[in-house]
Every structure is written in structure tokens, then in C-alpha cells.
Structure 1
Amino acid sequence: MIKIYFDWNVMSQIKNGDHKELREIIFDNEKLFIPFSTSHIGDIFSSFKETDTQRDYIESDLNFISELTKDKCLMNTGKDVVLDFYPPKELFEQRIEEKDLFNDISLDGLMKIFEQDDLIKSIGKSLINLLKSIPLEESFKQAFENPESAEQMDKMFPGLKENPTMEGFFKSFSKMNLNLNESDGYQELRKTVQGGMGINRDKIFDSDDPYKIIDGKYKKIGTSPNQFIDNSKNAPEWFNEITNEYLLLDMHGYQEDKVNIKKGRKETFRNTTEDAFHAAFASTCSFYVINDNKSYKKTKLIYEKLGINTIVFKPSEFIEYYQKYLDIKDAILNFRIPFEIIKTAEFYEEVMESATLRTYYVPFFFFGFFNKIMVLIPNDGSDTIFLLSQNGPSNHRIYSMEIQHLHKQLCEILGDDIENLGQIKDEEFKEKEWVGRKWILGEITFRLTRPNGHFQLYFDQQN
């Protein structure tokens, strides 16, 4: 199956009647694997209001996501990004229940959370009283006294100057958190960063090489923006890397997002963060379809820098690509096209001790799965080995439903497997060595195997 991740703006536009041709392609198309993520829920939650009209509108959004994705949901567990089947409505209700939980992350606010559990209430009280009495590092106090940094520190940590303790820090951090995510504080913070680094926003906004500008400014002061990257274990390393790169570009002015709290859907730091998460989630798929020009440019630049092979498309670009390469209507062409490609296409060649390996990276997805052709030519003159393989997205994993769909397609052309193993079951993949499937057609044996964790389809000439 071909994995495609759609940004919420594209989903919303399709729901509201736009991109009719795209809608016809993606709905109920069994060749496509379309997940949503918890960030889609975050996008919808940004417009949440306690009114019947808004509730009805949000419910229709959630129903649309469920219909399109069949409840396939990507979630960040902290250690990994996993796929689960989860109704969007349930995730949204959870978000509503938790919406006020961390609004107040001052020490007093945290104490209220502890007080909800009798088992940890006394421990929490002792811990918080201890934290309240701890003074801040001297460097913090000096930053408030330094004329060059005092104004910026007051903006970033309101009230901390008057109470330079851990109690004051948590209270100030709570205000800053609300200001960033619920108000226009991110706009001021971004101006402070750009002003402090001497970055001309108009120059960097549509620069061909924003990284050169950013790195150059940090080099002048003898540091690197990577010093400030969040490497905490709240997500896989690759997820954090993409997210941080996205926020770094936006914070320093490249294709920076609007901040707007005056009407309609709030646009705050929370929205930029969700866009960064979308870019990370999308890297588990072969295609990322997005219609917001700023996110489109930032994501393409990040993927290029990090070597991520997910293709970023606007809706019209994806439609053109789908019609040209992905919509193979005659199933038998999945066998014919690869042999046509190896006659004329360019390849990467690796000369080994006993054979030469030629690899063809193709835009097609044969049987909705294989996008790599490999030809192994032995030096001893024995039969050439031909197989189809997969060049998957950088951060992907293969799910059993994909192989089950692949097997179904192969059976429609080749018939039942020669060992009568039948339909592929989830339990088969728990074994270290997967049994695979074999078919014989004419003088060729087809083998669907999983050597070293890679699913491949071999074409073996019978002797």
C-alpha cells in the first residue's frame, strides 16, 4: 500500500468541497494507506468552543477524518511513533478532558494536581515546599540586572525578577506557556530572537539558503543554534530532530507563521508546533500532501537537509504524480513495466567479488508496494537474479495489512500459492523467519520473502 500523509488544511479543504479530483482518487482506494495523527486532533482543537454550533462542526470534521483514514492513527508514545486504530472522536474527547490540566504549571498549580490523588498528596506537598525555597542560579539574576538583556528577560519570564526562586520560575514559566500557546507571545519571542541575533526578517523570509544566514549569525557569537535544540526523551530522536529544525526555521524568520488571536481559529505557537509535528509524522510515509505554502517550503527544506526521502507535494502535484506513476490500472503491467525500465533507465551499480548488483530507483509503486528494482548478475555466467524491493520512507515501518494487501494483489494474477498456505495472518510475522509465499507461472517461480527484514519479490527462472 502507498503511504500518504495529508496535512489538515488539505483534509479540511476536501471536506468543504475543494480538490474534487483528489477526493475521487483517495477515498476508498484500497491501494492507499492514509493515516491521521494526534496533531490533526490538535489542529481541530485550536478552534474548540463550548457552543452547539461549533461542536457540530467539529464533529463533522472528526467524522470526515474517520471516514478517510479508517481510524488509522499515528501516535508518539515518547519512545516511538506507533500505529493504532483509534476513533478521532475519542481522541478529541480526551483532549477536552485534559485541556485545563496544565494551564497552571506554577508550583501551586502542580500542587492542585497532586491533591487529586490522596496517595501522593503529602509527598507532592513536601516536594513543592522544598522547590519553593531553592534560589535560582546567579546567572539568572545577573541577566535581569544587565541592561542589554533585562528587557528581553522580563518579556520571557514575567515576574521572575521580583521572585528569583524556583517558585517564581515555575510561576513565570506558567505565564510564558499560556502567553505562547493562547496569546500572541510567540510573536514577541520571535522578534526578540531575531533582533538579538541581528537577523533581517525580510531578508531571510524567502531566502534560498536560510541555514547559511542562521549559522552565520550564531558563528559570530561563537555558538550554534543546535545548543538550544530539545533532545529530551519525549519522542524518538528523529522525531525531535525534524520538529526542532522546523521550529528553528520559523523562530528565525524563514517562512514564519502568522500569529493571530483576534478572530476565528487561533494561530499561536501551538499551531506552529503542531505543523512541526505534522512534518515529523509525515516522514513515516512516502508522500506528504500539504497546501500551506509556508509549511510546504519549510518541510521541503528540512527533508532535504536531513536526507528524508518523503516527497512533499501540493495537491495538484500529487494528482499529476498519481496519474503518471501510481495509477496502474492493468495489474499485469506490474510485471511488464519493470522489465521495460531495466532496458533503458539509469541504475546504480555495485561491483562485488562474485557478482554485479544494479539497483533502479523508480517512481512507480508496483503492486502498490515495490519502488526499487534489483538485478544481480553473477560473474560465473549463471542465471541473473531479478527482484522487486522497497525503498521505504526514512522513518517508516511495514504493517501486516500492507503485506496482506500485496499478497491479495499477487494472488489475483498468479492464483493460489503452490504450498496452499493461503491468506497471510498477523501471527506469521512474529516468527523470526517468515515462511513467505511461492507461485509458479510458466517458466518463472515467484517468491515473496523477507530476508533481513526487507520484503522482496524474486523472479526465478526454472531450470
Structure 2
Amino acid sequence: MKDKIKIYLDWNVIADFLDGNFKWLEDILFCNCENISIPFSAEHVDEATNIKLSNDHDTKSEIDRRLNYLSRISSNLYFVNDMIDTGYRIETPVSIFQTLNDVPLRIDINKLFSSFIDYDTLRNGRKKLELNQNTLNNIKPENAIPKINEIITSKKEIQEHIKNQNLDISFMGILKKALKISEESHSNTTYNDIISKKTTYQLNNLVVISFSLLDTFGFWSDKKSTYIRGSRFPDSRHAFNAIFMDVLISNDKRFCMKAEAVYKYLNLGPEVCFLKEDESRIRELLNTET
């Protein structure tokens, strides 16, 4: 029996379905349950419930509507990522929401980290490194990290500054340093070990940090309003979840381009489709006729 095609939908696609948009894709997904599975994640639940309307009654009604729809489109297939292992189990979005709310003094991590580096400071840093956003955004995703690497390692001022400090300022060098900081106990594990063993915690860090670095250097980076909200953090976690799927569909081109750049660089991940432009390709991947 052929395995089902696993589809990972970015939350914005589900939000579009709720608004009555992209009916053609919604119909494909609901009519091909025998061949397609659409797991949901804790990130989906978090975004579905991150809403505040004019009163509590309306807020609860909208959250219920979103969670019920998420339940229907996923058939309650929950993608588990507990930072030790990954897998699937049958669970309702409502129960996951309750579990998330049971965490005492739950902190908005996205908001907490979003202001660590001021947006204007970040832009000034890119200018000093001569990382031109318009130039970077015209690069194919598979060439994005090599190009950024070429730019930052060729700066004479940087080379002069670090020549006696034994620092690796390549993209992979910065990535390894960030990985070491994020998990000191695994600092001796090599990149190849992480990829071959797919140690979930480390692999999560590898994808999330790579995604965040791309945004930092200016490749299809977030607009100021999005940056301030910290949207790159849930985006990076969606990008990690999707590496266990066959197809990733999003209606956010910035997300798609960064995710594909990370996947190509690390030799990971699914086919990435930008919903507004890739209808024919999506139909082909899902084995449906136009």
C-alpha cells in the first residue's frame, strides 16, 4: 500500500481556507483523504488561538471555529515534536490547546526575543556588511547561503579584525557557534552526526538558527512590522516541522524562500510551494489533474 503524501500547511493557508479562499486546494485536500494526510502541530494551535477580538465571547467563538476546522482538515493527526523525538498520534487541537494553557506562567517567547536586536540596528549592520536586500532577493534559494557566505568572508575589514582571534565568520562557522551556545552539552557533535542521526533537539536548532540567520542577513527578511512581532520564530519552527513532510505549502513568499534556502543548504526538507504562484506544481505533486 502506497504511503500517504504528507502535506504541511503554513497557518496562513488554513486562515485563507477559513476565509473562503483557494477553494480549489481545499477541495483537493478534503477529497483525497485516502492519499493525503495533513498533520497539525502545536505551532498551528498556537497561531490559531493567538487572537483577541472586541470581547471574550467573540474571541472564544473564533478560537473554537479555528480549532474545529483544524481538527477537520487534519483528521486530528497531530505531529509530535517534544524536542526528544518526533512522531504522530491522534489528538484533537482542543486538547493540545488545553495542554499549552496548562503550562504555568506561559511566556510569549516570540515577543520576548523579538526585541533582542533592534530592527534599525539590524539594517545598519547589513549595510556595513554590504548585504543588499534587493540583490539577495534576486538569488535562487539554493544559492542564497553560498552568496551570503561569499560576501561576509570577503570583507577586508572583518578579516583584519579577526585575523588573530581564530574566528570562523562563514555562515557555517556562525551556525556552529550558535549551535554550541544553544546546546553546550552537544558541542562535540559534528554537523554530519546531526544530519545522519537526526537528533531531534539538535536538528531543530540547526534548522531554526539557519532560518533566523537568513532573516538576519537580509534574504527575504521580514518587514519591520513583522519583525517587531517576532513572526520569524514561529516561522522557523514551522520550517523545522515541515522537514518531516513531503510538501510544504505557504502563502508567505518570504517564508517559502527562506525555508527552501535552508533545505537546499542542509539537504533536508520537503518540496516548497508558494500557494499564489504554484497551483500547477501543487496539483502535480498531489497527483491531481488541472
Partner-residue secondary structure (3-state), 1:36: coil
% identical equivalent positions: 21
The structure-2 alpha-carbon separation of the partners of 1:251 and 1:312, relative to structure 1 and needing over 3 Å to count, comes to: same
2:123 match = 191
2:36 match = 32
Q: Does the CA contact (< 8 Å) of 1:179 and 1:185 recur in 2?
A: no
The structure-2 alpha-carbon separation of the partners of 1:259 and 1:73, relative to structure 1 and needing over 3 Å to count, comes to: farther
Deviation per CA, 1:68-100, whole angstroms, max 9, x where unpaired? Answer: 001111122112222122211222233344373
5 Å-filtered alignment, 1:39-188, equals 39-48=43-52, 51-98=56-103, 100-102=105-107, 178=111, 180-181=113-114, 187-188=119-120
Distance 2:268 2:16 in 1: 27
5 Å-filtered alignment, 1:397-436, equals none
Distance 2:283 2:255 in 1: 25
Matched, 1:311 2:271: yes
Q: After TM superposition, give the deviation of residue 293 of structure 1 in Å.
A: 0.8
Q: Does the CA contact (< 8 Å) of 1:180 and 1:186 recur in 2?
A: no
The structure-2 alpha-carbon separation of the partners of 1:60 and 1:247, relative to structure 1 and needing over 3 Å to count, comes to: same
Q: Does the CA contact (< 8 Å) of 2:242 and 2:270 recur in 1?
A: yes
Provide structure 1 residue ranges, at least 5 long, that are not aligned to the other structure.
104-173, 330-463
Distance 1:22 1:328 in 2: 10
Q: After TM superposition, give the deviation of residue 44 of structure 1 in Å.
A: 2.5
Q: Could you tell me the TM-score, scaled by structure 2's length?
A: 0.73
| Structure with higher helix content | 2
Match for 1:3 among 6, 17, 29?
A: 6
Distance 2:206 2:254 in 1: 19
Deviation per CA, 1:378-402, whole angstroms, max 9, x where unpaired? Answer: xxxxxxxxxxxxxxxxxxxxxxxxx
Match for 1:283 among 243, 247, 264?
A: 243
Distance 2:283 2:131 in 1: 43
Match for 2:136 among 204, 207, 212?
A: 204
Deviation per CA, 1:304-327, whole angstroms, max 9, x where unpaired? Answer: 222225111133666534654644
2:25 match = 22
Q: After TM superposition, give the deviation of residue 64 of structure 1 in Å.
A: 0.7
2:190 match = none
The structure-2 alpha-carbon separation of the partners of 1:10 and 1:55, relative to structure 1 and needing over 3 Å to count, comes to: same
Matched, 1:241 2:206: yes
| Structure with higher strand content | 1
Q: Comparing both chains, which one has the higher relative contact order based on Cα–Cα distances under 8 Å and sequence gaps of 6 or more?
A: 2
Partner-residue secondary structure (3-state), 1:283: helix
> Match for 1:72: what amino acid?
L
Provide structure 2 residue ranges, at least 5 long, that are not aligned to the other structure.
163-167, 187-198
Q: After TM superposition, give the deviation of residue 43 of structure 1 in Å.
A: 2.0
Q: CA RMSD in A?
A: 3.2
Deviation per CA, 1:406-460, whole angstroms, max 9, x where unpaired? Answer: xxxxxxxxxxxxxxxxxxxxxxxxxxxxxxxxxxxxxxxxxxxxxxxxxxxxxxx
> Match for 2:19: what amino acid?
N
1:454 match = none
Q: Does the CA contact (< 8 Å) of 1:71 and 1:88 recur in 2?
A: yes
